[in-house]
């Protein structure tokens, strides 16, 4: 298996030791006891947005890590939209933005979809006859280093509860060189970085997994050797829902758009490189992605504000334009509390599709 959290002399098999392990345990307890539901019923098969943004006032005991887990976010998702707040000691009385609204990735609403820049997994259960279409979404970690999580369509070929981890020789060599040797076989238990549940994918000749973790603080980061890692309580909930054979689609969509009531909504995340690492966006390339997503639709885009949203790439959805076919199109709605203000739209222009950067 190619899955492991990167370690150092202060970690072992991917989990934090001593004080870090105690903190991880406290966060695990907090998350397990107060995690928010992530199941959404789509009002129609073509619906494109789920969830709601909200705000929360911190109490003395809070950290951004336990709040991220509580609200089904990766740690970086919450930290990124609350700059200047100490993630370990935010203090009491801080009002935090909680970005819970998501534009669904483009493509069919089928099986599992993982959007790598977003560090998020979407699962579309097969609807029951006459029943509603649902989506379940969770934050995940993605691949790091030279073992890139592969893009494209694959499927689940096996499932295992309490998996044993057999680290490949290259991983053992890496840890040995760092002064943190690991054995050839790690049995189930607290030392196992695969956690309590694992689902094997066909990609990479079966070397890639969707699995749990013994280091939940790192969920939402690029800290695995190619595998997709979930919070322990999230993977425990997802595991029994996934039949062997379920399609898994791995996509790279840092810029997502949706049309809602004539408004163009934009959601941007930091792009990832060939090793799964996030980096600062190239705004010109991001703007081209926005043009491609809009296509030939006649739309009034406030480009200064759109570029600001693209530059921040914090995952918060913003209204950046209006459909211009209707001269009586309404003005953008007032933003929710804590959301950035929407700038007025300029005169309508037709935005042509651009070549891929």
Task: Tell me the C-alpha distance between 177 and 268, whole Å.
Answer: 38
**pTM of the complete model:** 0.78
Which listed residue (175, 225, 227, 302) is catalytic?
227
The pLDDT tens digits of the residues spanning 245-280 come to: 999 999 989 999 988 888 889 999 988 766 556 667
**Domain spanning 11-51+101-251, CATH class:** mainly beta
Give the pLDDT of residue 3: 55
Task: Tell me the C-alpha distance between 72 and 289, whole Å.
Answer: 27
Task: Tell me the C-alpha distance between 307 and 310, whole Å.
Answer: 5
Give the pLDDT of residue 4: 38
β pairing state of 222-224 and 142-143: parallel
Which listed residue (211, 225, 269, 302) is catalytic?
211
3 catalytic per annotation = no
Whether 180 shows a pLDDT value over 60: the answer reads yes
What are the boundaries of each domain within the chain? 11-51+101-251, 255-350
What integer is the mean pLDDT of 200-207? Answer: 86
Maximum CA extent, the chain: 68
Q: What is the DSSP string of 10-74?
A: TEETTEE-HHHHHHHHHHHHHHHHHPPP-EEE-SSTT--EE---EEEE--TT--HHHHHHHTT--
Residue 308 exposed, middle or buried by CB count within 10 Å (0-12, 13-18, 19+): middle
Task: Tell me the C-alpha distance between 210 and 201, whole Å.
Answer: 8
227 catalytic per annotation = yes
The pLDDT tens digits of the residues spanning 98-109 come to: 999 999 999 999
Percent of the chain with pLDDT over 70: 75
User: Three-state DSSP class for 293?
Assistant: helix
Query: Are the C-beta atoms of 131 and 176 separated by less than 8 Å?
Result: no
Query: Are the C-beta atoms of 154 and 240 separated by less than 8 Å?
Result: no
Query: Are the C-beta atoms of 301 and 342 separated by less than 8 Å?
Result: no
User: Three-state DSSP class for 186?
Assistant: strand
């Amino acid at each position: 298996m190619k899955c492991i959290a990167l370690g150092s002399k202060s970690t072992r098999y991917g989990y934090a030791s001593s004080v870090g392990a105690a903190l991880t345990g406290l966060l695990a307890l907090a998350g397990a006891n107060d995690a928010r539901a992530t199941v959404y019923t789509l009002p129609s098969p073509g619906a494109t947005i789920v969830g709601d943004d909200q705000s929360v006032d911190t109490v003395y005991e809070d950290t951004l890590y336990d709040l991220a887990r509580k609200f089904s976010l990766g740690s970086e998702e919450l930290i990124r939209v609350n700059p200047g707040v100490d993630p370990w000691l935010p203090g009491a009385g801080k009002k935090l933005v909680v970005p819970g609204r998501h534009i669904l990735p483009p493509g069919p609403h089928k099986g599992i979809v993982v959007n790598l820049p977003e560090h998020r997994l979407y699962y579309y259960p097969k609807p029951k006859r006459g029943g509603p279409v649902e989506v379940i979404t969770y934050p995940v970690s993605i691949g790091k280093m030279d073992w890139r999580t592969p893009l494209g369509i694959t499927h689940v070929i096996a499932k295992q509860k309490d998996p044993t981890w057999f680290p490949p020789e290259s991983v053992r060599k890496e840890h040995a060189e760092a002064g943190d040797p690991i054995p050839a076989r790690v049995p189930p238990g607290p030392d196992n970085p695969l956690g309590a549940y694992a689902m094997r994918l066909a990609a990479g000749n079966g070397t890639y997994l969707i699995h749990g973790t013994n280091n939940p603080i790192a969920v939402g980061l690029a800290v695995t050797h190619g595998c997709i890692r979930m919070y322990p309580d999230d993977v425990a909930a997802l595991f029994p829902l996934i039949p062997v054979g379920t399609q898994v689609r791995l996509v790279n969509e840092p810029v997502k758009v949706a049309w809602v009531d004539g408004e163009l909504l934009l959601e941007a995340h930091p792009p990832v490189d060939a090793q799964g690492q996030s980096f600062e966006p190239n705004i010109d390339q991001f703007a081209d992605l926005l043009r491609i997503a809009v296509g030939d639709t006649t739309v009034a885009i406030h480009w200064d504000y759109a570029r600001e949203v693209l530059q921040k790439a914090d995952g918060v959805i913003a209204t950046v334009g209006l459909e211009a076919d209707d001269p009586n199109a309404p003005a953008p709605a007032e933003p929710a509390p804590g959301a950035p203000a929407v700038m007025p739209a300029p005169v309508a222009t037709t935005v042509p599709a651009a070549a891929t950067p």
